[in-house]
Amino acid sequence: MGAGYCLGIDVGGTFTDFALWDNQRRVATLIKVPSTPLNQAVGIVHGIDELGSPLGETERIVHGTTVGTNAILQSKGARVGLMTTKGFKDLIEIGRTQRLIPNSMFKPKFIRPKPLVSRRFRFEIDERTFASGEIGKEVAPDDLKETAEKMVKEGVESIAICFLHSYRNPDNEKKAALLLRDLASIPLSLSSEVVPEYREFERFSSTVVNAYLAPVMIRYLESLESELKRGDEGRTFFIMSSCGGMISSKTAQSFPIRTILSGPAGGVNGAIHFSRQAGFRDIITYDMGGTSTDVCLVKNLLPMASSEHLLSGIPLKTLQMEINTVGAGGGSVAWVDEDGRLKVGPQSAGADPGPASYGKGGGNPTITDANLFLGRLGAKSLLGGKLRLYPELAQESLQRLSRGLSGLESHRLAEGILQIAVTKMASAIKEISVEKGHDPRDYVLVPYGGAGPMHAASIADELGISTILIPRFPGNLSALGLILSDVRHDDVQSWIRHLGSLKMEELDKEFQTMERGASFILREEGFEPKDIFFQRSLDLRYKGQAFELNIPLRDDDAIGKIAERFHVRFEETYGHSRPEKFIELVNLRLSSFGVVQKPSFPPYESKGKSIKGAQKDERQVCFQGQFQRTPVYDRDLLPCEELLSGPGIVEESGATTVVLPAWNAKVDASGNLLLNRRR
């Protein structure tokens, strides 16, 4: 790594976080600026100006964005035209004739989400590829030309090409794309490139999503890149992908579907980095920002990943970290429903107007206001280092809401708001742990984000977790995690076989072919062979089943060992296994990594010598209905390995940690803050 800088930029619903790493001085500069939801690039430019970042000396910029996610959630994508095999234009609507959204079976008024491409913009081509991969009928140029002219006339902004069985043989899709590029200069998404695996409905749906997002992502990234270059063309600009690796801006524009979980993935990478330093391998990450909370289970330092996802009821078949999101953030609004019950979220006050205590006109109290009133958040705190808080406005908002709850006392209302939020976040963690065969008590909770450490001990109590690791720089960990990531490409090949009849040599031959192609791409991106490595895995199922489990391969693997691990994983997931049944191989998956040089943090040195010396204040804080005088500590002054007994508040730039009365805390040798429940 040279003498320049690396910059991570993570856009959240309330704040945009920046982490600027100085390679020469080995120092990180961390700031937050209010997000600008209407145009994320505006907030990014403001932050860079505030950093005074020497862009001409910045070697690498990595960006975590929510542009793709927001476009889907807000229905603000492009007008998509679907080109498909004759007789199959309604496949995207018929689907599997199932209600895919959880619990929708029990909702009599359920209405299935409409496809992103209406029937008017679906066009059929008289072509056919058989399941064997044999071309039954080639695409006709005249047919394509006529269809393209119709699409242009209808004002289509992006085209999804989804032909039957193109995962086995993409020739017809590629021929269609070649002709279309000559006829119309609009983005094309080929199903054989977006999702080159079988299951037609999921493949069609994912390709349509990619086409829906492409023009939005292209406009955003081209505009942002022009701002970031500022006359310097030599810098590399990356986007964080949903599976935790960096991809080039060009790849993100071609495959925006890979950026759906762009921001949260960076935080998971940062949590893994500091957990490895602390000697923990099984963790649950918990990122609580201003709008939502994202949780992810990491086993043996590998985040759980899946290629089966739903976003707003739309199937996405692309590899992503299994990150569960719930509408509970610092800005989540408390309200009373028509039955007189207290609710929290999913509505958020966002960056504007923000919580009532921001003094920008916010009405109902938020989680931030409840923490401020209870003393857990200090009145002298400047959120993001800039936003002043007004305790009297938080109190007024609680009093207004209490009128709808028979005059409930403000402190009880505030505690109720926090308890509802904690329950929602704990439930989100149970979905990725208990419901998938993992006991959260066997894991370490790793909270981060501006509000994460404030509620960590309460969530741990709810789940029976006894150890919490609060990494260094928790308020900006997602931005920091971006520059701790490697470049990553993921490839899949459908290859249906009976596992027991295969030989490892056959598997190895297929993977070597995939690796040659992936290696070529990484070398084109500037990586030397020594900086390239691969991770192989298989999608397996019992014969006759409809869905698979992914099993990573090891260097010394044999077919029998792979089968044993599949049986174990199946039992962990579903509570039983069937060792007597045949195992079917469905897909080969290859993850290819281009390793970049990452920040190397200097050894941690505490600025303080005693717990007493680290105390900077004392204030009334409410615990279990009672206010009590509670010491407030400066995290930077806490000495290593000395025990701090709760209750206590630990403050630092960008985050506040609440140490409950039944918990202890200490700073470890790496500068992480460890919390343990007292027996």
Section 146-155 average pLDDT: 90
Phi and psi at residue 77, to the nearest 5°? -85, -170
Which range, of 192-206, 218-232, 274-288, averages the lowest pLDDT? 218-232
149 CA to centre of own chain = 39
User: Tens digit of pLDDT for each residue in 465-487?
Assistant: 999 999 999 989 999 999 999 99
369 band by pLDDT with thresholds 50, 70 and 90: very high
Pairing of strands 236-240, 246-248: antiparallel
3-state secondary structure of 458: helix
Whether the pLDDT of residue 3 is over 80: the answer is no
Give pLDDT, residue 385: 52
User: Tens digit of pLDDT for each residue in 610-648?
Assistant: 999 999 999 999 999 999 999 999 999 999 999 999 899
Question: b/e string for 300-330 if b means 16 or more Cβ within 10 A?
Answer: eeebbbbbebebeebbbbbbbbbbbbbbbbb
DSSP 669: T
Whether the pLDDT of residue 83 is over 90: the answer is yes
- Assess contact for 550 and 538: CB atoms under 8 A: yes
Give pLDDT, residue 101: 60
Whether the pLDDT of residue 1 is over 50: the answer is no
Give pLDDT, residue 678: 87
Q: Hey, what domains does the chain have and what are their CATH numbers?
A: 5-71+221-258 (3.30.420.40), 78-217 (3.40.50), 488-594 (3.30.1490), 611-677 (no CATH)
Which stretch of DSSP H or E encloses residue 495?
Answer: strand 487-498
Higher pLDDT, 315 or 495: 495
147 CA to centre of own chain = 38
Give pLDDT, residue 102: 60
Q: How many CA atoms lie within 13 A of 498 on its CB side?
A: 4
* Global model pTM greater than 0.95: no
Whether the pLDDT of residue 382 is over 70: the answer is no
DSSP 104: G
Which range, of 60-69, 216-225, 308-317, 404-413, averages the lowest pLDDT? 308-317
User: Tens digit of pLDDT for each residue in 417-449?
Assistant: 999 999 999 999 999 999 888 999 999 999 999
Calculate what percentage of the chain has a pLDDT beyond 90: 58
Give the residue from 184, 233, 8 showing the smallest Cα distance to 81.
184
Q: Which amino acid is at 451?
A: A
110 band by pLDDT with thresholds 50, 70 and 90: low
